[in-house]
Each structure stands twice: as C-alpha cells, then as structure tokens.
Chain A
Amino acid sequence: MIIGITALYLFLFGGGGSLEFYLTNLKDPVKEYVQDKERQDVIIEASKALSKELGNIQKEVTDQFNDYVKAHADYESTPEDFDEVTDEMVASQLKLAKQVLDARDKMHEQMTADEWRAVFSKQ
C-alpha cells in the first residue's frame, strides 16, 4: 500500500518529464542557444537557485511522507492524523509551484522567443 503511494508522490513532487526537472537541467541548451554570456549566467544562476529550493522542499516532503508511514502503521491513528499530513503536503506543493514559476519568470525575462523555443525544444 505504501509502495503504491510512494511512487505517485515522487511523481507529484518532480522528476523526469516535469517542468521542475527541465528547469534545473538547462545549462547545456542555454549555453548553446542563448547568445550572450551575461544572460546565460543569469539563467543558469536561476536554475541553480531553483535546484537548491527544490532540495529544501524535498526534505519537507520526505518528513511528511514519514508521518504518513507512521499514521499508516499505527492501528490507533485517526483520520485527522492523515488529514494533517495531507494539508502539509498540499502546502508544500503550492510552495513548489510558486518557486518553479518564479524561476521560470526570471528565465523568461532573459530569453527571446526564438531562444526559448530552441532551449525547450531540446527536452
């Protein structure tokens, strides 16, 4: 039972095929398609900062998942124990979305439409 939800939480909070994944793996296409080094540096810096922020959220989510495991295993736990963890997970997901979209906005400001298309067509 735990196994089934583990995989889906991994999927919900980022991974292959997600925007988060692509925004934190931009270095090579940005160097190839963004014309000047100054803009490249700003974009790559935003990508690195996002990676760090996502790492912090992932630690949060790991702790929350641990609370799910405890509630699952405890025969005496209540529905409220589960709901409390779910509320925290939803809050973490909202935080993740804000950080991802803030990073995307910073990158967007630094790229032309053609550069953007070239960078993301590689993914």
Chain B
Amino acid sequence: MKTVYLGLIATLLICLSGCKSTAPEAGFNEERASETRSAIQSSIADPARSAQMLKVMDQFESELDKIEASIKKIRADIVTANADYATERETLEKMYAQLGEQVRLLGNTFRDRNFELRKLCSAEEWKSIADQDDALVNFVF
C-alpha cells in the first residue's frame, strides 16, 4: 500500500513541477487535517487525553498555517525577482536559503508535535491513529 501512495506522490511531484502549463495551487489541506482529528477521537477513549491531543493538533495546524504563509511569500518573491533581468544569482540564492530554513522548521515542528502526541497515548492507540493517517494519504492522492 505504501508503494502505491509513494508512486502517486512522485507522480504528483513531477506533474506539479514540470508537466503542465498552468499553475496548480498547493498548500496545507485543512479539510484532510480535520480527519486526523477524527482519528484521535476514535482511537482515544479517555476524553481528557483526547482533548489534550486535539490541543496539540490545534497548535500543529496553527504552526503549519504560518509555515505555509512563509513559503508562499518566499515563492512569490523568487518569481518576482526572477522576472527582473537584473536580479543577480546571489539574491536568488538567499531566497532559496530561506526556503531551506522552512524545510528544517517544518521537519522540527513535525518531530516535536509527534512526540507530544505520542506521550499522551499508548503504543496501540498510536498505531490506530497512524494507520488512519496512512489511509488518509492514500485517499488524498
């Protein structure tokens, strides 16, 4: 199953960056993220722990919104700078370095919220949530 969705991710990546002449939108999918909340609610029987985990998800989604806004701004700035013939490589290198910072920030955010959530549940509960996450990835692609 994982092979299937990884193949689909690769296809989508290729299409997004090199195949089409129109510019598709990309970004944080809030509707899908809300289904991760459902996975927590259905996997955690204890209301107090479920509420705590949903609070972590609130924080995670808020952080993703900020990262998405930063990425969009940097991307737009790169496209604008590129359109100017006089823009030097160093200027664009600095902008791409800012995107690299977002890659690290996103990885660190994902790691930190993952461990916060895991502390609040058992291995079995976590497996149930992660399995539903996995199924959502398949569904989205």
Q: Give which listed residue, B36, B97, B107, contacts A89 with CB less than 8 A.
A: B107
Residue of A with least CB distance to B3: A66
B67 to chain A, nearest CB (A): 6
A37 to chain B, nearest CB (A): 21
Q: Is the CB of B60 within 8 A of A4?
A: yes
The number of residues on chain B lying at the interface, defined by a beta carbon within 8 Å of a beta carbon of chain A, is 70
A38 to chain B, nearest CB (A): 20
Residue of A with least CB distance to B117: A1
- Interface 0/1 of A3-41, CB less than 8 Å to B: 111111111111111111110110010000000000000
The residues in B between 1 and 42 inclusive whose CB is less than 8 angstroms from any CB of A are 2, 6, 9-10, 12-14, 16-18, 20-29, 32-33, 35-36
Known: A1-B60, A9-B106, A120-B82. A51 touches B18 (CB 8 A): yes
**CB-CB nearest 9 A-B residue pairs:** A86-B107, A16-B23, A14-B17, A97-B96, A15-B16, A82-B111, A73-B130, A3-B32, A113-B85
B interface with A by C-beta (< 8 Å): 2, 6, 9-10, 12-14, 16-18, 20-29, 32-33, 35-36, 57, 60-61, 64, 67-68, 71-72, 75-76, 78-79, 82-83, 85-86, 89, 92-93, 96-97, 99-100, 102-104, 106-108, 110-111, 113-115, 117-118, 123, 126-127, 130-131, 133-134, 136-137, 140
